[in-house]
Structure 1
Amino acid sequence: MDSLKFYRNPEARKVTGKFMIILIIGIIAIGLASFIIAKNISKTLINQNAVILSNILEGKKDTDIIKNFYEKGSSEEISKAKEFLSSYGYDENITLDSDEIVQGILKNMLLIFIPILVVFLVILYFCFVKELKRIYIKINEIVESTGAMSNGEFREIDGDYKEGEMALLISSLNYMGDRVNNSIELLRYDKEKLKDFLSDISHQLKTPLASLVMFNDLLRENENMPYEDRVKFLDKSEEQLGRMEWLIMNLLKVGRIEANAIRFEKEKQPLKETIELAISSLLQESKKKDQELIVEGEVNAEVIHDKEWLAEALSNIIKNAIEHTDIGGKVKIQVNKGPLITKIYIKDNGRGISEELQKKIFKRFYKGENSSNPKSIGIGLSLSKSIIEEMDGEIKLISEEGKGSTFIVSFFN
């Protein structure tokens, strides 16, 4: 940071002004102190000289005179000597202008103490300014980094402050910056996800809508269409309408779950009623394919869940198992309660799923290559996964081609 930019800060100008005031006050204080000290030295010299001169005039011995060079005389001696010398105009009222010795002492004191004060304050000032500059450089870095937050480009601030308020500030800003970056990244991800979601919805609705338009045109343009053909087209229209209704309803459920708009009524309750509710609408479909639908195990095991929503999730998984199991096959729902985890196994002896496709099975709108249900749009398993995870559960798939599939739904007890 250059000096011009540094002194644009009001704090820097204020600190400089305060140092200048302290310097001026210090020089004045040193001058006054030096003057007072010089006056005291002048007074001491006058008293000492008075005693020495008085001894000389009185004709005292040389040893007594020399002794008074380094010993102070008594008050009586000083007073008597001062009375004697005052008649010659040499007393305490003599000015500094007339006293060259004291003038020299005063000058030397000023020449020594004032430069020492100036050098000390200048060194102190530059040390303070250097530290202040370092703080301003760090603040400038903080400003640049926080300015990049709005674009999700916050860069971690490297601080060499191990403790104190600046260290806390940098630590807090780094934490906040990471949170902002993550939030913006999530928003970008959600935006892309929404874009794909809308694209998928458009694609899924396009086919049944096109079929409905075609059937409607055929019925309207062919007034003399045989009754049997008319019924056939109406049945197909009803099928497509049912497909659209199922799609829209499930999309609304997925959207509500992802938007956290659903409040699950979770409570500890047995799985028996939940499983019965899940298979109630699938019994007829299972009978049509002459399949055996088995429920076994510790069905009275209690786990914390929302009965209606878990039944919805299990129903989609069981429906998928029925669809991918051949006529005369077997679908088994088994409950195992462990000391920590209760697991629901949904097994079938169908065609199984390849390892490559297992990674896609829970993706929204993924439809298996061998799906035999024309109404299937690949949203059921995705919805089941969202519901189970919202209830703090877990779902995974074990499958092998030609040997069937097993979905495992797990809950902590």
Structure 2
Amino acid sequence: MKMFVINDKKLSLQVLIMTLILVGMIIITQLTVVWMTETYKKNMVVHDTEIAGYLLNQGMDAHQIAMAFTDDKSDNETQMGAVLLKNVGYRESMNTGLVPSVKHFYRKFALVNLFFSSGFSIFLLIVFSFFASQREKQYRDAGGKIQRFMDGDIAIRLEDSNDDSLSMFFAKVNIMATALTAHLEKEKNNRLFLKTTISDIFHQLKTPLTALQMYNEIILDEKIDNPVVESFSQKSQRELLRMENLIQNLLKLAKLDAGTIDLEKSRHQLREFLEKCQACFITRAAFENKKIKLDCDNLISLCCDEIWLGEAVQNIVKNALDHTKATDQIEISGRENSLLIEIIIKDNGLGIDPADIHHIFERFYRSCYSKDREGIGIGLALSKAIIEKHGGTITVQSELGEGTTFHLIFPKLTNL
């Protein structure tokens, strides 16, 4: 059987002191018992002396009186004596206060017991409170340092120089903090590298893409009078624009993932912001015979990066236009309560199949119902990333054939 050993010096000291206190209490208790016994014996002798003197004064034989106190008593004599004294009210159940010697004995040792037990309890409480306060101070200091570490002071460490179990635990926490700091530094370097790489790739793609657009525009400007060439040139132009939009969106999404985007937040009137988003699609909606309605109170304001959040809202409105037919309607509304600000984008278009609704924010996911429409399935993923970057959430409700509603929810805390 393995013996339990306490390696914590402070805890060992605490156990030692508590043990010494308990041993001291046992010794004091035993001494008190001896004292009580001696006192009881003295009181008993005094009591018997008083009785003997009284009987002698009443004319009883001195030898018989001495025999009464020194001879062994039979059970019959004990019973007879009990009956005699019971008749005059002298019994075990009588009030202690009626016997002066017993009353004095009780008061004396009740006070002694109260004094020693109270003193022991107070001393034990003081010792325990001292060690508890020392440990509590260590916990508070550690909690404060951990909070500072979480607030960005990654160089701070817990005090682990003492030879106790808590310091051993703090040492493990310090090792973890060092590893986490190294990981954060590595992550920071990776993000910087990723940002640089993304920028380089974008510029490498942008240059040939711009050249292709320029060549295609030259071909379109040339009046070749060849319908086939003109048709393919227009298709090529559309695909080049689509490719440029794809590259731009991928670049934005990659920057959000890398954490290299710093939002420039400021307070904006929500209605004015939504009107700008609506204006981007008025021409297309009119061309496709669709309506875009706006409903928002003029008093609502939202703290956001107008450019980035505008990108998120516009992607959702574009998605609604892509999945509605002529005469359908898209409603953009803003709501506010004491807890949050909400932007709602609702359409009465095709809706989303229940099998697809849990995947629509996944990158490059496209429903089987969208195969005949343009897009690569990155717009909603980008919108979700931007909204979450603002501290908000996005949810969707839809019924196939009835329409879709997106809820962009921003808690008031994000407006601070």
Taking structure 1 as the reference length, what is the TM-score of the superposition? 0.49
